[in-house]
Structure 1
Amino acid sequence: MQEITAEILIERVWSYAEKIRSGEIKASKKHRWAVERFFKDVDRLAEDDCPYYFDAEAVVDFYEWSRQFNHVEGILAGQPIELTDFQLFIAANIYGFYKKENGARRFRKAYIQLARKNAKSQFLALIASYEIFPTQEKHRVFIAGWSREQSDEVYQAILEQLHHAPILKGKYTSANGRVKKYKTNSIIQPLSREARKLGDGKNPSLGIVDKLFVA
Structure 2
Amino acid sequence: MPLYYPMGFDSGYLLLVVVSLVLGFATQHYIDSTYKRWSRVPVPDGRTGAFIARSMLEADGVGGVGIEVVPGELTDHFDPRDNSLHLSQANLSGASVASAAVACHEAGHAVQYDKGYVPGRIRTALVPVVNLASNVWMIVLIVGISMSFAGLVDLAIILFAASVLFQLVTLPVEFDASRRALAYLRTAGFDGEVVAGARKVLTAAALTYVAAALVSCLQLLYLLGVSNRRD
TM-score, normalised via structure 1 length: 0.26
Greater fraction strand: 1
Query: Based on CA coordinates, which of the two structures has the bigger radius of gyration?
Result: 2
| Higher relative contact order, chain-length normalized (CA < 8 Å, sep 6+) | 2
TM-score, normalised via structure 2 length: 0.24
Greater fraction helix: 2
